[in-house]
Amino acid sequence: MAKKQFKAESKRLLDMMIHSIYTHREIFLRELISNASDAIDKIYYKALTDDSLTFSKDSYYIRITADKDQRTLTISDSGIGMTKEELEENLGVIAKSGSLAFKKDNEIKDGYDIIGQFGVGFYSAFMVADVVTVISKALGSEQAYKWESKGADGYTMEASDKESIGTDIILKIKENTEDEKYDEYLDQYRLKAIIKKYSDFIRYPIKMDITGRRPKADQENEYEDYTEEQVVNSMVPIWRKNKNELTPEDYENFYTEKRYGFDKPIKHVHISVDGAVRYNAILFIPESIPFDYYTKEYEKGLELYSNGVLIMSKCADLLPDYFSFVKGMVDSEDLSLNISREMLQHDRQLKLIAKNIKNKIKSQLLSLLKDEREQYDLFYDSFGRQLKYGVYSDYGSNKEDLQDLIMFYSSKEKKLVTLDEYVSRMPEDQKFIYYASGESIERIEKLPQIELLTEKGFEILYFTDDIDEFAIRILTNYKEKEFKSVSSGDLGIEAEDKDNNTDTVQEENKELFSFMKEILADKVKDVRASKRLKSHPVCIATEGELTVEMEKILKSMPN
């Protein structure tokens, strides 16, 4: 049989394709299943527009069959099929997309689900197969054809037999080498997992025969082998369902199924946007901290889908660092994908989505804070630190986004309070938002510096987290009220205490003070009389940029 040659460029392209475009070999299955789904979409579309064609819904399916002995993996579909010419054009010419042409010819606008557009996905099969055989019978034709190729050196074509309309793609899976294992692509559980991962929301059933061994009914200690046809994919993604029809349990199950976490999420949001960029998203605020959360290993990100097909498992660009705890997914039909569909061409759409999502998360957290304080406390216990880091690594609008979400322990309330709560309680004569830093609440309460303020009835925020004071320094003020450390030189209240005349005290004890200063020469800058002390004889005050606590933290940090 005469072998037709790929054009030279095609050869190079095919090599490049096989070796460099895709980072994950397993995506070949995603590509072939997507093609099968496109083919069914097309026949479905034809049936909708041509009354002479009638199909029942269950005649649309995709079937995956693995044969370990033959080392073949077959992907069959009941789609529109390909004529001899189409086999030549679509599979013989690399970067020719019959699907894109179909969309154009039929004037199918965006929003339709056809996935194909680049005309390269098919060749990813050569990442795992030595030989690829395509047997196809097109809608409206009597004769089936067989296309076969071993990769870069061309393909053969001949007439073939096939009963029903549709396509079988048969991959002869490569032998294992020392470095590479290909056997996994013949293993039913591995295949099932790959399908679940990338193609769970393909709209047609993906069927597979699953074999196993099970106890015989009614007979003890007796087992039987069984083969059972299963539909592997869930088909309708939860995010395309009507929100009103979904229960909280549905979302929780989705969270568990997707392995976003082992906890029960505190809150979920289901977003459907039909604006400049259309997308659906489901986001979760987890309750507990992932074990690696505060380490370098933790990877933030949301799952990114394009038309129900997984593109990226962790798209980091969708989340700001300070919301890195959020789990979930985004599905958009408006993304410009690059050829491998692993990356995005332009990030304009992505940026828009990310911004939108950030605002959603923020408003969800604010409403949690307002309406479900206990839940918010639970959340804050896990991720509050991350929000404070966010304020500290001030970046664009971080401050504005986060200042209403952070909380500190209050000397008055004996629990965490927001800055807004603090400020709204401030008496008129209080100029500053006071805070005291220390290792623990107990220790802070013993600080001599807080005595005067407490006596005056002023509320003090206790900073027990390393990051607290650093974050607040970045914030500098909240609702125009400046933050003031209790150990700073000027608390802004002393002057009002007229009866306690420190100037005289300072004068009278001048010699004592300079003597003390001499002894403590390299430890203190000055020794002065203070109006601040009540029952304690002495306290440390700072005048410079850093407080004693901050210096301690900086000194303890590795260089």
Considering the complex, state which of residue 41 and residue 466 has its C-beta at the smaller distance from Mg ion.
41
Q: Is residue 308 a contact point for ligand ADP (CB under 6 A)?
A: no
List 121, 151, 290, 390, residue binding Mg ion (CB under 5 A): 121
- Nearest distance, CB of residue 191 and ligand ADP, angstroms: 17
Smallest gap from residue 131 Cβ to ligand ADP (A): 16
Assigned token pair, 302: 């949301």
The site map against Mg ion for 288-327 (x = CB under 5 A) is ----------------------------------------
Partners of 478 in beta bridges? 481
Stretch that binds ligand ADP, among 45-53, 113-121, 268-276, 392-400 (CB under 6 A): 113-121
With binding defined as CB under 6 A, does residue 83 bind ligand ADP?
A: no
Q: Which stretch binds Mg ion (CB under 5 A): 57-65, 117-125, 250-258, 549-557?
A: 117-125
Give yes or no for residue 160 binding ligand ADP (CB under 6 A).
no
Residue whose tokens read 């039929």: 106
Tokens of 22: 């895709």
Residues 13-42 that bind ligand ADP (CB under 6 A): 31, 35-36, 39
At residue 130, φ and ψ (nearest 5 deg) are -80, -40
The residue written with tokens 């709560």 in the block is 421
**Residue 103, phi then psi, degrees to nearest 5:** -60, -40
Q: Work out whether 151 is an interface residue with ligand ADP (CB under 6 A).
A: no
Q: Applying CB under 6 A, does 119 fall inside the site for ligand ADP?
A: yes
Candidate ranges 14-22, 95-103, 304-312, 541-549; the one touching ligand ADP (CB under 6 A): 95-103
The answer to whether 372 and 278 are in contact (CB under 8 A) is no
Host H or E run for residue 78: none
The answer to whether 463 touches 435, Cβ cutoff 8 Å, is yes
Is the CB of 41 or the CB of 469 nearer to Mg ion?
A: 41
Picked from ligand ADP, Mg ion, none, the partner binding residue 119 (CB below 5 to 8 A depending on kind) is ligand ADP
**239 CB burial (10 A radius; 0-12, 13-18, 19+):** buried
Give min distance, CB of 394 to Mg ion, in A. Answer: 45
**164 Cβ neighbours under 8 A, 6+ residues apart:** 78, 137
Gyration radius of the chain's alpha carbons: 34
Q: Could you tell me which residues are annotated as the binding site?
A: 31, 35, 77, 82, 90, 96-98, 117-122, 167, 341
Q: What is the dihedral of CA 151, 157, 160, 165, to 10 degrees?
A: 80
Site membership for Mg ion, residue 35 (CB under 5 A)? yes
Q: By C-beta, is 122 or 255 nearer to ligand ADP?
A: 122
Residue 327 CB, nearest approach to ligand ADP (Å): 30
Number of residues that bind Mg ion (CB under 5 A): 3
Among 78, 337, 93, 311, CA closest to 198: 311
| Site track for ligand ADP across 255-284, x = CB under 6 A | ------------------------------
CA atoms of 475 and 473, how far apart (whole Å): 5
Listed ranges 121-129, 171-179, 490-498, 533-541: which one lies at the site for Mg ion (CB under 5 A): 121-129
- For position 530 contacting ligand ADP by CB under 6 A, the verdict is no
**Residue 79's binding partner, choosing from Mg ion, ligand ADP, none, with beta-carbon cut-off 5 to 8 A by kind?**
ligand ADP
90 makes contact, choosing from Mg ion, ligand ADP, none, with CB < 5 to 8 Å by partner type, with ligand ADP
Give the x-and-dash track for 377-416 against ligand ADP (CB under 6 A). Answer: ----------------------------------------
- In 311-327, which positions are buried (b, 16+ CB within 10 angstroms) versus exposed (e)? bbeebebbbbebbbbbb
Residue nearest to ligand ADP (CB): 98
Dihedral sign for Cα atoms in the order 264, 270, 271, 272: positive
Q: Per rule CB under 6 A, is residue 97 in the interface with ligand ADP?
A: yes
Number of residues in contact with ligand ADP, rule: CB under 6 A? Answer: 23
Per residue in 53-69, is it b (16+ CB within 10 Å) or e — as a string?
Answer: eeeeeeebbbbbbbeee
Q: Cβ neighbours of residue 357 under 8 Å, at least 6 residues apart?
A: 271, 281, 283, 302, 318, 319, 330
Smallest separation (angstroms) from ligand ADP to the CB of 10:
12
Nearest to 164 by CA among 274, 55, 278: 55
Q: Closest distance between ligand ADP and the C-beta of residue 35, in Å? A: 3
The SS3 call for residue 452 is helix
Residue ranges binding ligand ADP (CB under 6 A): 31, 35-36, 39, 77, 79-82, 90-91, 97-100, 116-122, 167
